[in-house]
A and B are shown apart, each in its own frame.
Chain A
Amino acid sequence: RENFVGHQVLRIQPTNEEQISVLRSLAEKHDLGLDFWTEPVSVTKPVDVRIPFKVLQPIKIFLLENDIQYSIMIQDLQDLLDEEERVMKTRSAQ
């Protein structure tokens, strides 16, 4: 099974077209394994992106260097998925 331990989902809030362009270029770097849940479109729409643990640090540094604001939407995706599975098993038993 694919493991998402340490993967975070960041909510990124671009504030201008230049930042959107930077995020689009990031989205095109497929080797990073980023999974855009919502894509960079406009300053009115936050960008949600799942970031694998192995590239978490460099991506955060990259965002800071480009003065792009973000918050952590999901701290550890695997924790959330484990909780989802636990709830399903509990309900199944019921």
Chain B
Amino acid sequence: PRNTDGYDYANYHTLNEINSFIDMLVAENPNLVSKIVIGQSYEGRPLNVLKFSTGANRPGIWIDTGIHSREWVTQASGTWFAKKIVTDYGRDPALTAILNKMDIFLEIVTNPDGYAYTHTSNRMWRKTRKPNSGYSCVGVDPNRNWDAGFGGAGASGYPCSETYRGPYANSESEVKSIVDFVKSHGNLKAFVSIHSYSQMLLYPYGYTSTPCKDQSELHALAKKAITDLASLYGTQYTYGSIINTIYQASGGTIDWTYNQGIKYSYTFELRDTGRYGFALPANQIIPTAQETWLALMAIMQHTYNNPY
């Protein structure tokens, strides 16, 4: 495609195609969108983040998609979100109001090495691609590598496991780069990390059964978000804290962001309920993105309306 209007949002794309999309989107919308490179993956690929901004020194909302590389519908949805933001800015009053006061950061491919590997070598790859000393098994589960209950139950210490936590917290550059960005920004108000599949919207904690101090507010907002989501196609989501809804998981992304003071920390599990798993047909991409966008808007609007 020569521009982002010609991009096929209803198809899965390689990393190079997504990176080209990012560059086109920035070139087409120079006053709204810029690209930030927050670091490099283990194999040296840039960790690209789209910044949607209409002013300086604004509080921010972070969205990342597809930290587990095989969850292709997630990265595809992220691409659709990016186009949706530039299309709706100036047209949709709610999004316009948000962007007139806050920045949105979107990392479409959070684990580029893994994503590239799913296109070239192993479609079912989940982890990063960093070798593990002394083992033939490669990679760390980047959603067990954060410094929140790191090393506790719900993560593996065995490098060949799909949920290997890594040798130490933030050992993966894909994780450390976000950690550094979050700390240096210092004013993120919402952090949404998007995965698939299982159809869930989850809030902290995963590493402990102790309720987070904002649980009642996060629970009510999750209910609103999944109700909005279901209004489009009737897709049913469950919601709650990670440990109560799915399983105990230590070292997870949003447990860390919440402990950093980002109150509106959520993680999604997008479609489907398991008929296809990670090989969800491409004709499901746009419906998935559309319905998820409604939930994202609910979270972003609540964040906008409830400054802290």
Among candidates A36, A38, A74, A87, residue contacting B281 with C-beta atoms closer than 8 Å: A87
Interface string of B196-208 (1 = CB under 8 A from A): 0110000000000
Whether B161 and A1, one on each chain, are in contact in the complex, defined by CB atoms closer than 8 angstroms, is no
Whether A36 and B162, one on each chain, are in contact in the complex, defined by CB atoms closer than 8 angstroms, is yes
Whether A84 and B279, one on each chain, are in contact in the complex, defined by CB atoms closer than 8 angstroms, is yes
Contacts of B161 in A (CB 8 A): 30
The verdict on A2 contacting B277 (CB below 8 Å), with A88-B282, A91-B282, A92-B11 known, is: no
Q: Which residue of B lies closest to A3 (CB)?
A: B122
CA distance A81 to B8 in the complex (A): 20
- Determine if A60 is an interface residue (Cβ-Cβ < 8 Å): no
Of the four ranges (under 10, 10 to 19, 20 to 34, 35 or more), the interface on chain B belongs to: 20 to 34
Whether A35 and B162, one on each chain, are in contact in the complex, defined by CB atoms closer than 8 angstroms, is yes
Whether B278 and A37, one on each chain, are in contact in the complex, defined by CB atoms closer than 8 angstroms, is yes
Contacts of A87 in B (CB 8 A): 11, 281-282
- Determine if B160 is an interface residue (Cβ-Cβ < 8 Å): yes
- Determine if B247 is an interface residue (Cβ-Cβ < 8 Å): yes
Give the number of A-B contacts (CB < 8 Å).
60
- Determine if A70 is an interface residue (Cβ-Cβ < 8 Å): no
Whether A37 and B277, one on each chain, are in contact in the complex, defined by CB atoms closer than 8 angstroms, is yes
Q: Which residue of A lies closest to B161 (CB)?
A: A30
Query: How many Å from the CB of B164 to the closest CB on chain A?
Result: 10
CA distance A2 to B117 in the complex (A): 10
Point out which of B122, B124, B197, B282 has the most chain A C-beta atoms below 10 A from its C-beta. B124
CA distance A91 to B162 in the complex (A): 32
Query: How many Å from the CB of B246 to the closest CB on chain A?
Result: 7
CA distance A41 to B153 in the complex (A): 13
Whether A74 and B276, one on each chain, are in contact in the complex, defined by CB atoms closer than 8 angstroms, is yes
Known: A1-B120, A4-B123, A41-B246. 9 other contacts (CB 8 A): A1-B121, A30-B160, A30-B161, A35-B124, A48-B274, A73-B275, A87-B282, A88-B12, A91-B282
B interface residues with partner A (beta carbon < 8 Å): 8, 10-12, 120-124, 158, 160-162, 197-198, 246-247, 274-279, 281-282
22 contacts between A and B (CB under 8 A): A1-B120, A2-B122, A4-B123, A4-B124, A30-B160, A30-B161, A35-B162, A36-B162, A37-B197, A37-B278, A48-B274, A48-B277, A50-B277, A74-B277, A77-B279, A81-B123, A84-B123, A84-B281, A84-B282, A88-B282, A91-B10, A92-B11
